[in-house]
Structure 1
Amino acid sequence: MSEARTILIADDDRAIRTVLSQALGRAGYNVRATSSAATLWRWVEEGAGDLVVTDVVMPDENGLDLLPRIKRIRPDLRVVVMSAQSTFTTAVKAAQRGAFEYLPKPFDLKELLQVVGRALAAPATPAAEEEAPEEKLPLVGRSPAMQEIYRTVARLTTTDLTVMITGESGTGKELVARALHDYGRRRNGAFVAINMAAIPRELIESELFGHERGAFTGALARGVGRFEQAAGGTLFLDEIGDMPAEAQTRLLRVLQEGEFTTVGGRAPIKANVRIVAATHRDLRLAIRNGQFREDLFYRLNVVPLRLPPLRERAEDVALLARHFLDRAKSAGLPFKQLDQSAIDRLRAHSWPGNARELENLMRRLAALYPQEVIGAEAVDAELADAGPGMAEEPGRGPETLEQAVERHIGGFMSAQKDGLPVRDLYERVLAEVERPLLRLALSATRGNQIKAAAMLGLNRNTLRKKIRELDLPVVRGLT
């Protein structure tokens, strides 16, 4: 029988040390626990332990500061970082300094045991990346949904993998794309963004790949495209779902071959960029309708990253509101605070415009109201003036699911020239409801299909069949 592996625990909270020691001991590990970073460092220097589980904040030293030193003397010793400071920067620093995993507190003991098992079984970790400079937080929120985003983005900053960001308008897709760039390997290169919905169809190829003089009427000089501008950096293709078919074909060829030619040119140019794409559209539905190439989708969807709408992270609303008020003050607007009634009213709103709507509201409150402390009355007044579909009636609470579906279908019908959809409306609506329902259940259970089936009240085999039919990704997390 092989000797039990030893786990080194460092946390200044005695209760956490006790709980972790008991859980790991029951799982068959030897455990040594301390409240001191100095003691942990001594154990590491002595060659003790097969895995470190450490808190960030300790009385004598920050746990993150220990990581590079541990990696220098024992590069194969894996480290799991725990923290109640559940911010994007903490997750990124943990990844960049060589942590195997970052666990925001509070966490489930089963999750910790799974992480410990993966860490002990994993191959040797590569050297930590050079750390990005300290910056203001690009992403804000401490909800479980945002913690998953932080952990995934932190892992992706150490790679050049292509990322597909999906989410409703106003959820912060470009913010996440910029974070991937600013904290990643290519941060010294350019971040170049192009919005496919804002470029005329006939100019998209020239905008992306550039053109030679005389390539078309009005091309009086050579034009440099976005691929060349982003060389060595990141190219952000926003609203990729609105790219016309002919440009999709050209982009697919570039992704396959790793090079492109300018419009009117012949010499190939190497495509030295990281691609991050984003869309608010359901691209799988667009593929079924013949509006988007399936082969291009799979080239772009290497790592899918879904951003939750604000209504799915209501616990972040107060934090975001204060963040936006601070930004408004930095922009020269008067300092404002929110009382509890205002915060309660903000949390009750359904936020169809997501974080962008919330930011605009905070700027209006800062600019238009003389009082320093803002109450629910001012919030109600501004929400009522925001326009149709942007506010709820006071006292009625958030929009119901039935009302939201009816509004969505009504908008879809009114967008058709003859007032009717093309075909298969019943199946399309069911798919639009069923897909996010299953996706959210899988996300809430971290990909555990048994728990997701129990949550939904479905048979496990039925859930598996639905996952296959809807082509839903089931990801427990990148390792």
Structure 2
Amino acid sequence: MKKYERIDITNQTEYLVIKEAAEEIENAYQPEKAIHTILSLISRQIGLNRGRVLLQEANTGFLKAAYAYGLTQNEIAKSRFAIKEGISGKVMHTGTPIIVPDIDQETDYLCRTVDRSTLPQETVSFLATPIIRNGTVVGVLAVNRLRKSTRSLDKDLSLLKLIAVFISEILAVHNMLERQTQILKEENEQLKALTTSQGSQYGIIGESSSLMNALNQVSRAANAAVTVLLKGESGTGKEKFSRMLHLSSRRQDGPFIAINCAAIPKDLLESELFGHEKGSFTGAGKTKQGQMELANQGTLFLDEIADLDLSLQAKLLRVLEDKSVTRVGGVKPIPVDVRIIVASHKDLNEAVNLGKFRLDLFYRLNVFPIELPPLRDRAGDIRLLARHFLNQANQEYQLSTIFDVGAMEFLEHYDWPGNIRQLENVIKRAVLMADQHRLIKAPLIQSIISDEKAINLGGKASSNRQAEKTPATPQGWPMQQNPFPNTNMAPQSPTLGQGQFANYEGGYNPALNSAQPFQQPNPFGQTGYFEKRDYWKVSDAEVETLKQALEMARGNKTRAALMLNMTPRQFSYRLKKLELEE
């Protein structure tokens, strides 16, 4: 016959108390109920009575009973102590548990919460232990018990310390939930505001006075038969404003065509704008309409007009004056009814002075200039834009990332020399690189911006600031110590461990030595971290790395490429060369 070990009832009771108390952590969203249940458990099962959790008042710093079991409302109201006052105050100050075997023999025991006459007329003990979170004392857990209990005071204190850990977890989770709930409420309010704000239907987001001024000017110019010049730094949303001008005008049913004059070689731009006749040059096998003709009855947006060649400036001037175009190789003017909107981040006045832009064309274009404000001058709009780009990125990558409070403060204090385009880029990268809790923190954003700090973003610098000297942190923001050392180190491993990308937090990789700043390994070379190279020699040794990155990105090649600091084109090329494409 098998011999069974005898179960110690006392230990079994303690086990059940610990088990049920631990289960209450999942009810942290209702801390009153969870902590009351735990205090009730240790009273009924262990005999640790009149339990109370004392926390500091935010305005006075005094300890006050925030949660209790077995105390009247009057006793709870009286349970208030200065730091160092009474047993509870001393525990809060020293962070050390205290056992009072007999309260009648202890002068520091004040009998403030419960009158001595209310307690049993026998020896009563008092136990108090600190509630600690991340090395800081945040409160005190205290109980009374009868001295004649069969359990030792030391054993009860050990249990009380464990209960204090559970209560610490409940308080921490509750605070986090409250914080995130507040963030979500703010997001909802901001998103509701966006739906009613001027310009939102055209994808222009913001409520700042400088933006409203620009939007009001657009509204005034919408149906006026004038050429509009959009002025502003790169990345301020000039094309969105040009679309708003088109869609809010009487030409909204006509075509809208946008051309970047800096993106097309000047030898091809003339044909692109004005069209050409068959045989007008080598390769002109058929007649082609230019964008001017195709935009008839609509709007033509010419971005980076300052980069237009002088010879083409003369032809554009003719279009504005005569309302007609002549194709390359043609002789017959073709009437066009097109509204022209131009934009430039360069100073056209300076271009005229340097002889790079025609003065007569400048006068034709500068009829209704609209200055688009840089992001740093749009107080309050960064928060709205950041939420908008976060939602877009979450939908695109099928994630549920959120901002930490510190991250949003960092975004709002940074100068953003690259304006809206830079903000969108940084947020997309942050969404992909957020920690395992899908939380974007300030150090991560700081490290992404530091990666780009060597780029001259080309924005028109104000008199008190040079874009290329923009710091990687907002003024007054604490800079992470040496986040990107210039030393080139070999990667820790030729493969990508799960922690190397998905699980680092705040710019640090827990898979590496915690004292080292986070450095994303480049498995294909020693070129410095977060630095894309135009070419990496393809090697069979990359196969596992590519496979793991693709698996971590759930098959999304763009995301996998970002993980490896490649462009999507580089990543796809390697898949093809190594025959990894299905």
The two structures have a TM-score, normalised by structure 2, of 0.45
- Give the distance between the partners of 2:195 and 2:328, measured in 1 at CA: 41
Per the alignment, in what secondary structure is the counterpart of residue 295 of structure 1? helix
Per the alignment, in what secondary structure is the counterpart of residue 179 of structure 1? helix
1:181 corresponds to which of 246, 257, 271? 246
- The CA deviation string for residues 329-383 of structure 1, in whole angstroms up to 9 with x for no partner, is 2323412221221111112211111100000111111122133332212211222
Per the alignment, in what secondary structure is the counterpart of residue 237 of structure 1? strand
**Mapped contact 2:430–2:444 kept (Cα < 8 A):** yes
1:270 corresponds to which of 330, 335, 342? 335
- Give the distance between the partners of 2:424 and 2:439, measured in 1 at CA: 17
| Structure 2 partner of 1:374 | 440
| Structure 2 partner of 1:309 | 374
Unaligned runs of 5+ in 2: 1-191, 471-582
- Give the distance between the partners of 1:310 and 1:353, measured in 2 at CA: 9
Larger of the two Rg values belongs to structure? 2
**Mapped contact 1:333–1:366 kept (Cα < 8 A):** no
Which ranges of 4 or more aligned residues in structure 1 deviate by more than 4 Å?
85-92, 399-403, 405-408
| Structure 2 partner of 1:215 | 280
**Mapped contact 2:238–2:343 kept (Cα < 8 A):** yes
- Give the distance between the partners of 1:273 and 1:302, measured in 2 at CA: 16
2:264 corresponds to which of 187, 199, 209? 199
- Give the distance between the partners of 1:88 and 1:306, measured in 2 at CA: 24
Per the alignment, in what secondary structure is the counterpart of residue 256 of structure 1? helix
| Structure 2 partner of 1:361 | 426
Higher relative contact order (CA closer than 8 Å, sequence separation 6+): 1
**Mapped contact 2:456–2:467 kept (Cα < 8 A):** no
**Mapped contact 1:333–1:367 kept (Cα < 8 A):** no
**Mapped contact 1:177–1:236 kept (Cα < 8 A):** yes
1:328 Cα deviation (Å)?
Answer: 1.3
Amino acid at match of 1:367: L
| Structure 2 partner of 1:234 | 299
- The CA deviation string for residues 59-99 of structure 1, in whole angstroms up to 9 with x for no partner, is xxxxxxxxxxxxxxxxxxxxxxxxxx98696547xxxxxxx
| Structure 2 partner of 1:118 | none
Per the alignment, in what secondary structure is the counterpart of residue 359 of structure 1? helix
- The CA deviation string for residues 388-424 of structure 1, in whole angstroms up to 9 with x for no partner, is 1579xxxxxxx9966628859xxxxxxxxxxxxxxxx
Judged with a 3 Å threshold, the aligned counterparts in structure 2 of structure 1 residues 298 and 143 are, in CA distance, closer, same or farther, namely: same
After TM superposition, the structure 1 = structure 2 runs for residues 320-339 of structure 1, keeping only pairs within 5 Å, are 320-339=385-404
| Structure 2 partner of 1:157 | 222
After TM superposition, the structure 1 = structure 2 runs for residues 49-64 of structure 1, keeping only pairs within 5 Å, are none
After TM superposition, the structure 1 = structure 2 runs for residues 10-409 of structure 1, keeping only pairs within 5 Å, are 91=198, 136-369=201-434, 370-389=436-455, 404=466, 407=469
- Give the distance between the partners of 1:404 and 1:222, measured in 2 at CA: 48
- The CA deviation string for residues 38-77 of structure 1, in whole angstroms up to 9 with x for no partner, is xxxxxxxxxxxxxxxxxxxxxxxxxxxxxxxxxxxxxxxx
- Give the distance between the partners of 1:310 and 1:258, measured in 2 at CA: 37
Judged with a 3 Å threshold, the aligned counterparts in structure 2 of structure 1 residues 185 and 330 are, in CA distance, closer, same or farther, namely: farther
Amino acid at match of 1:241: A
CA RMSD of aligned residues (A): 2.5
Judged with a 3 Å threshold, the aligned counterparts in structure 2 of structure 1 residues 233 and 144 are, in CA distance, closer, same or farther, namely: same
- Give the distance between the partners of 1:405 and 1:207, measured in 2 at CA: 33
Per the alignment, in what secondary structure is the counterpart of residue 197 of structure 1? coil
- Give the distance between the partners of 1:256 and 1:388, measured in 2 at CA: 44
The two structures have a TM-score, normalised by structure 1, of 0.54
Question: Number of residue pairs matched?
Answer: 275
Judged with a 3 Å threshold, the aligned counterparts in structure 2 of structure 1 residues 136 and 400 are, in CA distance, closer, same or farther, namely: closer
**Mapped contact 1:88–1:140 kept (Cα < 8 A):** no
Amino acid at match of 2:388: H
Judged with a 3 Å threshold, the aligned counterparts in structure 2 of structure 1 residues 403 and 167 are, in CA distance, closer, same or farther, namely: closer
**Mapped contact 2:251–2:298 kept (Cα < 8 A):** yes
**Mapped contact 2:195–2:201 kept (Cα < 8 A):** no
Unaligned runs of 5+ in 1: 1-84, 93-134, 392-398, 409-479
- Give the distance between the partners of 1:260 and 1:158, measured in 2 at CA: 23
Judged with a 3 Å threshold, the aligned counterparts in structure 2 of structure 1 residues 136 and 337 are, in CA distance, closer, same or farther, namely: farther
Judged with a 3 Å threshold, the aligned counterparts in structure 2 of structure 1 residues 239 and 364 are, in CA distance, closer, same or farther, namely: same
- Quote the sequence identity (%): 43
Per the alignment, in what secondary structure is the counterpart of residue 331 of structure 1? helix
